[in-house]
Structure 1
């Protein structure tokens, strides 16, 4: 009997705690859970632009120069390292690009197309091979300028390579899943599936 009396206060305490917790949950649930889309947009609010991938390129280009009515010719081959970055403009993601399925607890997000930066040429690490019996300073400067323009143009083409774009899109999706699943979990939604698609990506076969 004494044992039962000793347990009873604890049972009453647990019951009271459970009721208090339930009331607190009902009271605070709208603020803690709220709208999953609003929670996701807040997660994007502090990072308007998210760089998701970068690639090092090495365009190989060549230019020719002719002077004195073609009597003096020269040629320069150049390898100019270039770096490009792939980013997502999160500021363009609004409610119209999100959909919440409460049954499967899945948040679907459609991102704008990847934004590829202008190639950043590292001419300090460039390598040059010059051919010509006599290369004037003016000819050398012109060859270098021409090769710089060609390297930038070629780097833009290389940055659009389907393999690099696929890697960049995959990195973007992984980053967005992580950036959204954690805030939603903290907000009380539990384990949430985040499905990400990107404008312009090839349709799956």
Structure 2
């Protein structure tokens, strides 16, 4: 078998392997999302179908909570079957700072003023959590609401609630509140080990990207944070 034939065989094996892997992934996703698991007697069971653990290094710095009202409508048979749904449910949105992005260059030390400046990444809001199981209101109106229409109304109302909560969390005043709390949280995060090491009276300033436009004065970044703090006594 010449070299060209060997390459063709290898490529063919890789292609077949990729197709089999794609088929397996597709089957697993279909099973996870669409196949109903039942007991031996045919009764559907409540269980966790799939779960994945992911590492995270985000510091929670705030939480927005409240009640959201969402609406949805559906029309079928050329408008002859119209229906709508209104839901009121509690929601929660958490704000985070990714502390894994705080590298060596994120810290600036001013020895003269005993000030530690942290150039933090901006806060980000997590996915809204709308607790539909705790809804205080769920009204569906319509002369005749089919099963498909009811399912569609539920999905649309759920999506509308998510969007409304996400929009509220993104409002400038909400983001400003989260940033203010992030400053306090990051300040406390670094002050605790400083005070435990007997280093008191250090001022901590936290800045975010929107505040750092253009060149800024760089203080002593040639030393690591432990070295800076060791000299802060």
TM-score, scaled relative to structure 2 = 0.62
In structure 2, how many angstroms separate the alpha carbons of the residues matched to 1:78 and 1:150? 10
The residue that corresponds to 1:77 in the other structure is: 86
The correspondence of residues 106-125 of structure 1 with structure 2, limited to 5 A, is 106-125=115-134
Q: Does 1:193 align with 2:200?
A: no
How far residue 182 of structure 1 moved from its aligned partner, in angstroms, is 2.6
Tell me if structure 2 keeps the 8 A contact 1:55–1:85.
yes
Provide the C-alpha distance between the structure 2 equivalents of 1:100 and 1:113, rounded to a whole number of angstroms. 20
d(CA) in 2 for partners of 1:69, 1:146:
19
| C-alpha RMSD over aligned residues | 2.0
Cα-to-partner distance string for 1:89-108 (whole Å, 9 max, x where unaligned): 11101121110000110001
User: Are 2:160 and 1:150 aligned?
Assistant: yes
1:202: how far off? Answer: 10
The offset of 1:201, in angstroms, is 6.1
Which residue in 2 is equivalent to 1:102?
111
Aligned length: 157
Deviations 1:89-131 (A, max 9, x none): 1110112111000011000111101121011121101221222
The answer to whether residue 149 in structure 2 is matched with residue 139 in structure 1 is yes
Gap runs ≥5 in structure 1:
1-46
Compared CA separation, residues 201 and 65, structure 1 to 2 (3 A): farther
- d(CA) in 1 for partners of 2:104, 2:62: 25
* 1:171 correspondence with 2:208: no
Bigger RCO of structures 1 and 2 (CA < 8 A, at least 6 apart): 1
> Within the alignment, does 1:93 sit opposite 2:96 as a pair?
no
Question: How far apart in 1 are the matches of 2:145 and 2:179?
Answer: 46
- Alignment-derived partner of residue 60 in structure 1: 69
The residue aligned with 1:36 is none
Distance 2:180 2:139 in 1: 38
Task: Report the Cα offset of residue 192 of structure 1.
Answer: 0.4
Contact kept? 1:185, 1:192, Cα under 8 Å: no
CA contact (8 A) 1:57 1:158 kept: no
SS at match of 1:103: coil
Counting helix residues as a fraction of each chain, which structure ranks higher? 1
Q: Could you state the TM-score of these two structures normalised by the residue count of structure 1?
A: 0.70
Unpaired runs of at least 5, structure 2: 1-55, 214-233
Distance 1:125 1:200, change over 3 A: farther
Aligned partners of 1:56 and 1:174: how far apart in 2? 20
